[in-house]
Amino acid sequence: MIHMRYLQLLKLASPEAVVVLTALVVLSIGLLAKRATFACAFVAGLGLVCAIVAVLLLPDDETLFGGMLVISPLTSLFKITCLALAFFTVLLTGGEKVPRHPGEYLALILLATVGLMLLVGSEELLMIFIGLELLGLSLYVMTAFDKTDVRSAEAGLKYFLFGSTASAFTLFGISLLYGMTGTTGLAAIATRLATTSIQPLLAVAIVMTLVGFAFKIAAAPFHLWAPDAYQGAPVPSAAFIASGSKVASFVVLGKIVLIGFAPAQGSAGWHSMAAGWSPVLAALAALSIVIGNLVALAQSNVRRLLAYSAVAHAGYTLIGFVAGTREGFSAALFYTTIYAVTLIGAFAVVGVVRRETGGDDFSNFSGLASRSPALAGSMAVFMLSLAGIPPLAGFFGKFYLFSTALQAGTNQALLWLVALGLVGSFVSLYYYLLVLKAIFVDVPSLSGAESMRHAPSDFLQCATVTVLAAVVVLLGVIPNVLASRILGAVP
């Protein structure tokens, strides 16, 4: 059993190894040349592209050390997704006002990416916990990275305190699971759980394990960090928290509940509630949809609005897991991928507006349509996609998600959750349109227009935003490109 073949391990873990090496190289470039922002970003981007190629070269199916490292079509697909999201985040850093230590910042993004890949590519609780912590610790530091800004440090500390409390819950839950099953591999846990009924201790273990993931996906009532982190963090950090971290957490949450806890599913149907993880997730979903949408109505800062809408979207995505079927899982993954692409684009626009006007309230967005039509048009695409307007990707994502949830279970048992999701979507249209009203209708105040520095918007930023908007439109027109691939990869 101990005869591990190190060369084989190195081959199978090559994408992670490439990213770690790139992080070290970027760190040393940053150490040698203090202001080499461009060189660092270039090397980081190159490393991420190399890692994507390395993922493509991996074999189809391989499992090492009882699930610690799993290579399957699903893990490869989402490793590529995470790397691509990290690549766009690196592009966003190019436009930021030069941070004091660009090398360290980019190295942190790369280390967080390794955390994402470990999370996605593992079906063993210890590795998942290590990935979770690697991701978390990198994100806390990335949030607090702007040392000159009070709000960045404050957001970092709040994110850290909530995050480490949640991960302590998860570790305690994992320890109870280990005690009851004697193993930490997800598949092995499932076989042990199949022979036992749900005891109180098992229920405690499941709920505690889920707390850490509910925190990571910002599901209510574990969402309190999200508005502060989204608003206070540097723009690329916020974009990465909202996209990469979410996607990987949903993948691993899905694997834990659908593979590991499969025998303890229970039921969340309106007339057929039964104990298990499914009613827990249903409660989280319902609470997130209600709280996220209602609180978002009252926001006047675009980043806080995106944060509360993120809570609501986490709720919609959880509906797919509650359905508990293969289609439900793939619908949830499709939805969260589209959501991640949309949010990176939205944060890129926020970044440009923030640089030009010095803030990110609604008033800072007024007149964006006349200043920069391309950015305004892209923002319209992102907001309407988040609201779920037909030709865009967000509509198809929601349609797919809600229809699979309706089909799951007998007698449309999840109708109550789907109805809640639909009402939530109607409410959300109002606040997304508020953002668009500020962009297209409101006239900027005179003082605001004068104080505006007429720096030409960075070409790279505009190109990035346009590409992301094009992706959102394309995935809305031909969603099958991604949806069939995800459905085919889900076991």
Which residues of the shown chain bind other proteins in the complex (CB under 8 A)?
126, 129-130, 133, 137, 140-141, 144, 147, 150-151, 153-158, 160-161, 164-165, 167-169, 171-172, 174-176, 178-179, 182-184, 227-228, 231-232, 298-299, 301, 304
In the bound state with other proteins, the residue whose beta carbon lies nearer, of 171 and 203, is 171
What is the residue type of 275? A
User: Nearest approach, Cβ of 155 to other proteins (angstroms)?
Assistant: 6
Cα(338)–Cα(151) distance, rounded to whole angstroms?
29
User: Nearest approach, Cβ of 151 to other proteins (angstroms)?
Assistant: 5
In the bound state with other proteins, the residue whose beta carbon lies nearer, of 153 and 283, is 153
- Torsion angle, alpha carbons of 110, 114, 117, 123, to 10: -160
What is the residue type of 351? G
Give residue for tokens 């190190």.
6
In the bound state with other proteins, the residue whose beta carbon lies nearer, of 53 and 150, is 150
- Tokens for 424, please give them: 């939530």
Q: How many CA atoms lie within 13 A of 75 on its CB side?
A: 27
- Strand 267-268 relative to strand 273-274: parallel, antiparallel, unpaired? antiparallel
User: Nearest approach, Cβ of 299 to other proteins (angstroms)?
Assistant: 7
What DSSP line would sit under 409-477, residue for residue? Answer: SGGGTTHHHHHHHHHHHHHHHHHHHHHHHHHHTPPPPHHHHHH---PPPPHHHHHHHHHHHHHHHHHHH
Question: For residue 50, how many other CB atoms are within 10 A of its CB?
Answer: 17
- Tokens for 212, please give them: 């850490």
User: Nearest approach, Cβ of 159 to other proteins (angstroms)?
Assistant: 9
Spatial CA neighbour of 312 closest among 398, 396, 229, 244: 398
In the bound state with other proteins, the residue whose beta carbon lies nearer, of 148 and 197, is 148
- Torsion angle, alpha carbons of 477, 482, 487, 488, to 10: 130
Report the DSSP beta bridge partners of residue 268: 273
User: Nearest approach, Cβ of 112 to other proteins (angstroms)?
Assistant: 13
In the bound state with other proteins, the residue whose beta carbon lies nearer, of 298 and 463, is 298
In the bound state with other proteins, the residue whose beta carbon lies nearer, of 161 and 274, is 161
In the bound state with other proteins, the residue whose beta carbon lies nearer, of 229 and 486, is 229
User: Nearest approach, Cβ of 212 to other proteins (angstroms)?
Assistant: 11
Report the DSSP beta bridge partners of residue 301: 361
- Strand 69-71 relative to strand 62-64: parallel, antiparallel, unpaired? antiparallel
In the bound state with other proteins, the residue whose beta carbon lies nearer, of 117 and 305, is 305
User: Nearest approach, Cβ of 388 to other proteins (angstroms)?
Assistant: 25
User: Nearest approach, Cβ of 256 to other proteins (angstroms)?
Assistant: 16
